[in-house]
Chains A and B, each alone.
Chain A
Amino acid sequence: MSTLEIKDLHVSIETEQGTKEILKGVSLTIKTGETHAIMGPNGSGKSTLASTIAGHPRYTVTSGTITLDGEDVLEMSVDERARAGVFLAMQYPVEVPGVTMTNFLRTAKTAIDGEAPALRTWTKDVKAAMQQLRIDADFAQRNVNEGFSGGEKKRVEILQLELFKPKFAILDETDSGLDVDALKVVSEGVNRAHEEGNMGTLLITHYTRILRYIKPDFVHVFVDGKVVEEGGPELADRLEEEGYDRYAPGAGVAVAPAVQA
């Protein structure tokens, strides 16, 4: 059982206009076996939260903490965080020149496990995982994400999730840009990873659609760099009906102060 704990996180970025605060005090605790959905409008800071947990150098933590089983995540380099068990499925996975998927997957697995995987079983595992995610076998020989469609990139992110077996998966809008079939395939992948019983998930999404396939235990509504409301799956249903409008500044409904679960 592991715990990823985010406490009063403030994050800013440097822009041409100067420093801009994006996360304004985020607190969140995720435990193994739990699925937390973070829902919020575009620009509310969801990707910022995801990238900050993974350690993207663009984001500066000005205050607050992130710990994994008590270890200070903010002290770790990007690769150390991944090896500690944090996995970020990116909203926009980049194309990496010169590196085949096969080579990349094996190198990453070796780095994460601290030893090279047994070749026979590894090859078999990769093949099986690719098949389940309906990724063509010839992708193995292609360069990482190079020329992949948006949907293919997302499937490849989930492929890595299944192969690397992280303690915590952060899925940044993995559902965006997927058609219904792809959405199902990807959701099944996430659910399989969950069923192995050693993973907690932070599912970031703009829409409620994916929540039909991946059932969240908790829903956090994210607006303007903060969690403004928290609840169970029923909160997602409400969002589906009402949208984010009622959280907008000036909208008649008062924003409930976030209550830490």
Chain B
Amino acid sequence: MTRNLRITNNKFIDQTSRISFKFDGKTLYGFKGDTLASALLANNIHLVGRSFKYHRPRGIMTCGSEEPNAILQVGNDPSMTEPNTRATEIELYEGLVASSQNCWPSVNFDMGAVNNFFSPIIPAAFYYKTFMWPTNFWKLYEYFIRKSAGLGKSPTEPDKDIYDHRYLHCDVLVVGGGISGIMAAKIAAKNNLNTVLIDDKNVLGGTTLFQQNECFKINNSYSNEWIKKEIETLNSLKNLTIKTRTSLAAYHNYNYLLARENLTDHLDLNEKKDKIRQRLWKIRAKKVIIATGAMERPLIFNNNDRPGIILSYSIKKYIDYYGVKCGQKISLFTNNDSAYETAISLSNSGVSVNSVVDIRDKTNSLIVNQVEKLGIKIHWKSTVVNTNGYKKINSIEIMKLSDDGTAVVGKKIKEECDCLGISGGWTPRVHLFTQAGGKLKFRDEDNVFLPDTTELDQISIGSCNGDFELDNVIKNSVNLTNKFLKINNNNYENLEIISSKEIEKKNIWLLPSNKHLGKTKSFLDFQNDSTANDVKLALREGFKSIEHVKRYTTTGMATDQGKLSNMHALGIIAETAGVKMGELGTTTFRPPYTPLTFGAIVGRNVGEFFDIIRKTPMHEWHIENKAEFENVGQWKRAWYYPIDNENMYEAVQRESKAARDSAGILDASTLGKIDIQGSDASEFLNRVYTNAWSKLEIGKCRYGLMLNEDGMVYDDGVTTRLSENHYLMTTTTGGAANVLSKLEDYLQTEWPELDVYLTSVTDHYGTISICGPNSKKILSKIIPDLILSDKDFPHMSFKNALIDNINCRVMRISFTGEHSYEINIQSSYAKSVWEKCFEAGKEFNITPYGTETMHLLRAEKGFIIAGQDTDGTMTPVDLHMDWIISKKKYDFIGKRSLYRSDTIREDRKQLVGLLTEDPNEILEEGAQVVAETNKQPVEMLGHVTSSYFSPNLNKSIALAVVKNGKKLKGQKMFVPMKNKIINVTVTDTVFLDKENKRLNA
């Protein structure tokens, strides 16, 4: 086990700084600069997980964000553990704890692996086909499937980490810090453009950073030496901001981009504490240069998923960058020249390369010749037909390809190896380009989708634009950048470049085997465990669209969005269906490019910052007096004030009785208040309310009903005329903001000629409502100068007054049917005045009541609550409020709709009262009202909108909307509940004091 897989000659990993970490309970060591994947490989650990469906052993396969297998659970703290993290992207830190996910009980012995032996009966869509029927059984199956195939564990406690959001504006954003991105950023910054360069790795340089090869030289230096100097020069550029460990997640329209910066994920456990973990950058860039490079493709052949089978260029990075040997006897399998770079790197580091299996005919490019010179055997025009080894590859079987590439011929050669590097060519990372709505074109020569047209100010340069050879990458990146930025002076003129040219190209999407296709396991999507055979089966079953095949086989639907599998799936579909790949189109790549944490998405908007909490000026008093609170929109409103051990029902009964027997006090500050001024204020009110306002005297109040243009009740409230051209409108608590917006809309767009100004003053005034037969006495104690006789201060009127020298407005208005007053006073004084009222009311047993009692009291009087008794389908006529519709007014919002054929129907749902046969039976709000009990299905005629036990009437009361309700008065109806049917009688909506005697009591 302790074979030394580390080479000592390495520039990037600090081999003096040893780091300990745990994987599946075992303590292991790596070095600063390692990723979790490189450290595991250095410890000769390839097997890191089990596949999703068949539970086949799977190993690390790549070195980047496209990793499909090394998907691990990191951390074991119940609030910090994170599932589905890619070992290839996790920088090693002291104290890191990681474990395999998709295996039970352990990665080395997995119960689910029996699926592998039964795999012939687990074809594409097996789960859909088997477990979805009969439908009810899914609940049963799901438990077992989840247990044996889960993808990681969610944290069970709140995330303790801090996340952050910030905005960033720049002239040019360069995404990707490889050779193309570095050159583009330098050109932009040198030309006075405010430039930002981001890269998801901890260092810039991309793959050029470790490219030390005779075949790739710039100005007589190895390309890695050249790029190192370029990176050094970036630091002196004033206009350039460089962000490493920053991954671009999403590219939206108008060059709006989201990038996640990892700030502490690479730090040791004790260094992470109290620091911001990740920051989400919200970027607006005038221009975007995408230089995201390309990713290597796998090859699709029988048993291509064993641990130890790694993308060839990743093997190169592990040896050249991390100094880690992925094996001691490595074989390579390729369809292109890049695997030869790996062969040279391995050879330079003293790792023996068994052979290169190449599906092409013999080719003579610079780099191939160099490999041949090293004496490495090349199997031309050959393919791997099988691999062996259960938990780790131990040999491959090689055969010659037929001339047309569809079959294998000749004798099978067996070659022992402990690692197989595979390369199926390169796929440009066009994900961001397409996220932003860019259209792709297909290049047949090497089977790549390339950026074509875009509506945005962006370009793609380098490998993501289809340039794979060093000289093309440099030349085209520079030219495209200059053109895009409209710059003439060139920082990169006359570079002398040596670059190996690929001469021969050949591609076979699904490599043939000596076995029948049905007997092979050629994996396409490693994470979701779908095979080439599954895709072919889907096509045989009649699926044609790539989007359908994808969903049916789940190919490309795992957390990697099919980064490795999509091209082959498309290729196989195109080949099987006999269409051109370019015509088939691709599936859509959606943001985020790599998964984002929820923490990064929500940023600081957690806990008390999740939503605004609005509190009235008397809030603290309510808390001191043990109020329970109700959320009304963003407001916290006192709901009820339990005394001793009262429950809500008991408290509300007591409060309701007290308010009618003597005096109650309510915090009504949340009601919307709109200050209306201007010479056309009266005319404006005429147009927005159903009733007439011109004749309202100064100092008087009036109830108003506001409709939508469709004639349905929208909001209501009392408006007071403060002076000739000055009104104070009140709205419902929940409707305040929308009413103001609606009124502004009409003023600005339909009636710009009106001289009217609207100002929201909801937060400026606290509102104290005192009601009950003793309310007059209490008010007279607070404001002794005010004459409170019915003659001087009648119901529906208003007075300016002074309380302790503070101006306030007192309205005599009532929402309970009791004699009552509302004091409006500047918010900062509201609490002290409230306390004063409470003090003054003590001798009358003044009782604070909350929203629940308010609702009960108004229901006794049959007053509606817009939004509770109405739902956007009730006209004033439906609510028996014909009296408030002006017949004289020529027009108001919604007037014309009141006599549309539908609104004049007599059998509309209308507001009624309901009394239960048993006066102690309280109906449930929302319960249905029916006329028959012995019919199924029965017509639902309406529903209960408000229901309470009235302590003042000593019986249960309810409001309901019922079809044709007005004509049903006195009729028996039924409210069917789960276990019983409740008998009710339809009544008038006013239950208490029909003559309104109490208003002047």
Interaction A to B: no
Instruction: List residues of chain B with CB under 8 Å of any chain A CB.
Output: none
Instruction: List residues of chain A with CB under 8 Å of any chain B CB.
Output: none
